[in-house]
Amino acid sequence: MRFRMPLTALAVLAIIASGAIAQTPPMTRDTGAPVGDNQNSKTAGADGPVLLEDFNLIEKLARFDRERVPERVVHARGTGAGGVFVASTDLSQYTRASLFAAPGKETPVFVRFSTVMNFRGSPEAARDPRGFAVKFYTDQGNWDMVGNNLPVFFIRDAIKFPDFVHANKPSPVTNVQDPNRAFDFFSHQPESTHMLTMLYTDTYGMPKSYRTMDGHGVHAFRLVNKDGKVVFAKFHWKAQAGLHGMTAAETKAADTNYATRDLYGAIKAGDFPKWDLMIQTLTAEQVAHLPYDGFDDTKTWNGVPETKIGTMTLNKVPDNYFQATEEAAFCPCVMVPGIEPSPDKMMQGRLFSYADTQRYRIGANYLQLPVNRPLTPVNNNNVDGPMNLVPRTGDINYEPTEAPGTPAQQTEYRYSQYAVSGLTQQTRIGKEDNFREAGEFYRGLGKVEQDHLILNLAADIGQVGDVRIRQTMVSFFYRADHDYGTRLAKLVNVDIAAASQVADR
């Protein structure tokens, strides 16, 4: 083995000066001041204490102590990528949203995929819905379509969301997730039958990759055109790679970071993932005549045709995970003119909750962070607060005012008007229809997928100690489909006759 003598400092400088080695930028503190020694603290003599005046040390430790922001309460485990959306259809008859104004129009996007319940460093191979959040940087401001890989959700009212999360998070006593807690909650929520049926399949509950799963806006949106005409719409991201899931055995063998490795590996190899954006539309009159509540997020608009309106391509792995994926903040309330919320009670609660959690997590000025900042100029009277990064000049931060040059309101972008009537109320929706779609979905599965669904579901429900909870859950699936409930009952030790009596109540 040959050993090389270390280069002297003068030799290194000579090589740098000759251009043989690229000169690296000098290390600095956050203030920009150069750092002379980043390896040794400043002390009072050889054996003396460390001095508080070692500014680099203090800054380095203080910054390290604050490297972590609070992780998301849900969707903490996430992966992000950048790309572009290209419209393929002129939707101006339905909406004034400019990103859909003309075929071929391009809009930059950032997408964050995630699991829901587990912590930031948890395995990606978890039976869990996958978050599918898309931020469009349009020329009218940002639009966040914040959805999942499933077209429905567990509950239909946001007032239940904290309870749903608490029941599915680890126990406050043991810090371990417990099916007894989860199914105790679900046994009181018959509307969860549809979502649970989809979640426990291989295809929807355990996607083989982020590239091979669909995305859904879940809720209905109100679309408004330039003349004020309104239709309601649902959005669906259809994976060009098709839908592919993993079996229970494949899930156990999966790498902790399998989905991130697959996504980033494909992008770096130039095999850019693509999704077609599909839309369903209904008038208010058509929604009213549905046999179920058309604004219920536990339902799909089954049978309503879809139309392709564009394609999204992901082609950029972020340069910095934290600054992109962790600081990315999404909220259904981030909308552009021409897209407004529907009366969906789950969506209505999310309009507040999502932005509020981001203000808590990363600050009141989170929309000034690069990944969240719109490409359009921001002009308003919001001021100050932590990490206010955008330069501001002038004395006027209020309105109305007589001062020249202040931002003007544009009345053509007022929210749409719609009639409301009746008494204020706290009641369930009128047309619950909790089990029909779950049964239709089950009967539409192939035999192998049905078998795996029942085995996967029984593996969790079978751990529930209270027979009344097991019986109630079986009764829900029995009401969806008798074969479904009967087969499940055998595996979780429930008498099907007793369960059918619960179902008949």
How far is 217 from 275, CA to CA, in rounded Å? Answer: 14
Count the residues in the chain: 505
Average pLDDT of the chain, as a whole number: 93
Q: Determine the Cα angle at 366 with ends 364 and 369, to 5°.
A: 145
- Chain segment 248-276, per-residue pLDDT in tens: 999 999 999 999 999 999 999 999 999 99
Instruction: Choose, from 56, 75, 219, 372, the residue flagged as catalytic.
Output: 75
Cα 229 to the center of its chain, rounded Å: 30
| Kind of pairing between the strands at 339-341 and 274-282 | unpaired
Task: Tell me the H-state helices in 206-344.
Answer: 248-253, 258-268, 284-288, 321
Q: What average pLDDT does this structure show over 433-437? A: 96
**Is there a contact between 442 and 480 (Cβ–Cβ < 8 Å)?**
yes
Would you place residue 178 in the very low, low, confident or very high pLDDT band (cuts 50, 70, 90)? very high
Q: What is the pLDDT of residues 318-359, one digit of tens each?
A: 999 999 999 999 999 999 999 999 999 999 999 999 999 999
pLDDT at 409: 83
Report which of 248, 205, 197, 203 is spatially closest to residue 484, judged by C-alpha positions. 197
Domains of the chain as residue ranges with CATH: 78-157+199-368 (2.40.180.10), 436-503 (no CATH)
- pLDDT: which is higher, 395 or 150: 150
Q: Taking Cα atoms as reference points, which of 274, 238, 91 lies closest to residue 151?
A: 238
pLDDT at 381: 87
Residue 395 or 174, more confident: 174
CB-count exposure of residue 28 (10 Å: 0-12, 13-18, 19+): exposed
CA-to-CA dists, residue 420 to 294, 346, 349, angstroms: 17, 19, 18
pLDDT band at 434 (very low <50, low <70, confident <90, very high): very high
Q: Which helix (H) or strand (E) holds 112?
A: strand 106-114
Q: Is 75 a catalytic residue?
A: yes
Predicted model pTM: 0.91
Catalytic residue among 56, 118, 142, 148: 148
- The two beta strands, 141-148 and 131-138, are antiparallel
Note if 180 is an active site residue.
no
Secondary structure of 338-405 in HEC code, one letter for each residue: CEEECCCHHHHHHHHHHHHHHHHHHCCCHHHCCCCCCCCCCCCCCCCCCCCCCCCCCCCCCCCCCCCC
Task: Give the model's pLDDT for residue 22.
Answer: 57
Q: Name the packing angle between helices 467-480 and 482-491 (round to 10°).
A: 150
The answer to whether residue 2 scores a pLDDT higher than 70 is no
Contact 113, 299 (CB under 8 A): no
